[in-house]
Amino acid sequence: MSGPQFVQTAWAVQRHSRATRAEVKAFQDAHLRRLVLHAYENVPYYRKLFDRNRLHPRHIRGTVDLDLIPISSKQAMRERPSHELLDRTVDQGRLLTVCTSGSTGEPFTIRRTWLEQAFKVLFQTRCQQSFGLRLPERVMKVGRGRGYDPKDTKLVGRLLQAAGFHPTLKIDGLVQPPEEVVRQLETFRPHLLVALPSILSLTADYLLAQGRRDIRPRIVSVGGEVLTPLMRCRLTQAFGVEPVQTYASHEFPLMGWECGVSGELHTCDDGVIVEVMRDGRPAAAGEEGEVVVTNLHAYAMPFIRYRLADVVTRGSDQCACGQPFSTIRAIQGRMNDYFSLPDGRRMHPYRILERLLPEDDIWIRQYQLLQDRPDRIVMQVVPSRPPTPELQERVARAISPLLGPGIEFQVRIVEAIPLGSGGKYRHSRSLVASMYEPSRV
C-alpha cells in the first residue's frame, strides 16, 4: 500500500462512524477486490490457492462472492515457506516482524510494512475515542513486555504523543507485582487503563484486599482474553467503572470494540471482514460459530478468509445504536489461566512462552501448557515432525529456571490436544486454580 492510498483510506475510516451501512459495504467490496487482485498477482500462496480451485480475481465482485475463496488455516500457512506468503514486490528485509507464539497455541510469524502497522494506531485511536477518551488525556497499558522488532520505530505513536495526543505509559504486567502496578497508577493517573483481563484481575484483587477506592481511571478497556462475568464484576468493584471490551489479534489489529448503547461489539468492518461460520455455513444472528477473517489492509502478507481458531456469537447486521457497523454479540475466545505455584507466586503462561527460542517454532505445531498438580507444569506438544530428545530437553532447560526449584516441568508429545468446554481451545489450563472452571486437584 502506498502513502497516498494510506492517507485516502485513513480519511475514509475517520468518517465511517457517521456513514451509512451501504457506504461501509461499498468500501469493503472495493478494498476486497483490490486485495484479492494484489494477492493473486504478487503472493505465490494465493496464486496457487486460486489456480488450484479454478478461481480468478474477476470472480470476486465483493463480499457476496467471498465464499468462493477457500478458507486458509494457520497450520496450512505455517507449512509453506515464508517467501510464498509474502508479496514478492516488497523488500522483505524491511518488513516488521510479529510473532504470535503466545496467543493461540500455534506459533506463527507475521510480517507487515510500516504503513500497515500504522493502521493499528488508526483503528485503536478511533476505538478509544468511541469509549470517550478526549485529547490530551493519558493512557496506561498493562500487558506483556515482550520484545518488539527493532525496525518498528513506533513513529506514528511518537509523533502523536509529541503533538499532545494521549501521553501513554506501558508497563509489563507479567513481571510487575500488583503493588507496583498500583504505584504506577497512582503516579501516572491515567484516564484510560488498557490491559489483559487476567492481569488486571490480580491488580483488582490487590486493591479490594487493601480496601483502596482511590484508583479511578475514567475508562477501563480489556481485550486479548475472555472477560468472564466474575472478572467484570471484580474490575468494576475495584476501579469504580465497568470495563469495556475490545477484540483483536496479531493478524488483525482490531476486529471489534464494545458499543456503549447496545452492549454488543461493533465489528471493524472497514478494517476487516469477519465471518462467523457454523457447520460450513454462515451463522445466524445469535448463533455461535468459528471466526474467519479477512484483513482488508494487509498486502505484504495477506490474510484472506483466515481461520482464527476463536468462537464468537454473531450479532446483528447493523448495530442498534445506528452506527453502520455489524456486531459481535459475545466472544468465547482465548482463555488463559494463571498458574498458582506452591511458593505463593502466580505466573501467567505468557512468561513461560517467552522463554521459547525461535528455532522451537520449527517442530512445535501446537501446544498446551497444563498445570496438573501444584508443583508440576506439563507442556503438551503436537509436533510438526518427530522431535529429537535434544530438542525437547532444550525447551525444558529454557523454562525450568523460570519456575524455580521444586517445580517440575515436562515436555509431553501427544497426537492431539482436546478442546475445552464449549469447544474452545485453551493454550493454557490449570487444574489447580482455574479462573474458568472448578479446580479438580
What's the N-to-C CA distance of the chain in angstroms?
53
- In this structure, the answer to whether residues 358 and 291 fall within a common structural domain is no
Assigned domain for 435 exists: no
Check: CB of residue 375 under 8 Å from CB of residue 408: yes
Indicate yes or no: pTM above 0.85.
no
C-alpha cell at 376: 508440576
Check: CB of residue 344 under 8 Å from CB of residue 404: no
Mean pLDDT of the chain: 87
- In this structure, the answer to whether residues 353 and 267 fall within a common structural domain is no
Sheet of 364-373: strand order equals: 408-413, 376-383, 364-373, 428-430
**160: CATH:** 3.40.50.12780
- In this structure, the answer to whether residues 116 and 231 fall within a common structural domain is yes
pLDDT tens readout for residues 398-439: 999 999 999 999 999 999 887 555 444 577 888 887 655 554
Assigned domain for 179 exists: yes
Assigned domain for 437 exists: no
| Full residue range of the structural domain in which residue 197 is found | 1-333
Assigned domain for 441 exists: no
Domain count, the chain: 2
At residue 422, the pLDDT reads 43
- In this structure, the answer to whether residues 323 and 380 fall within a common structural domain is no
Pick out the chain residues at pLDDT < 70.
1, 100-107, 145-165, 228, 230, 333-336, 357-362, 419-425, 434-441
Assigned domain for 387 exists: yes
**383: CATH:** 3.30.300.30
pLDDT tens readout for residues 133-183: 998 999 999 987 654 555 555 555 555 555 456 799 999 887 888 999 999
Domain end position, chosen among 276, 310, 333 = 333
- In this structure, the answer to whether residues 329 and 343 fall within a common structural domain is no
Q: Prior bond to 136 cis, omega within 30?
A: yes
At residue 227, the pLDDT reads 82
At residue 345, the pLDDT reads 87
CB within 8 Å of 29: residues ≥ 6 apart: 61, 62, 63
Q: Chain-centre distance of CA 292, in angstroms?
A: 14
Domain end position, chosen among 333, 356, 386 = 333
C-alpha cell at 258: 464494545
pLDDT tens readout for residues 76-113: 998 899 999 999 999 989 999 887 644 455 668 899 99
At residue 103, the pLDDT reads 45
Domain end position, chosen among 333, 355, 372 = 333
Q: Give the start-end residues of each E strand in 154-224.
A: 168-172, 192-195, 219-222
- In this structure, the answer to whether residues 382 and 241 fall within a common structural domain is no
Count of alpha carbons within 13 Å of 79, Cβ hemisphere only? 10
- In this structure, the answer to whether residues 291 and 357 fall within a common structural domain is no
At residue 230, the pLDDT reads 66
C-alpha cell at 1: 500500500
339: nearest Cα among 381, 368, 373: 373
C-alpha cell at 165: 495526543
- In this structure, the answer to whether residues 283 and 388 fall within a common structural domain is no
Q: Cβ atoms within 10 A of the Cβ of 83, count?
A: 11
Cα dihedral sign, 169-171-176-182: positive
C-alpha cell at 225: 482474553
At residue 106, the pLDDT reads 61
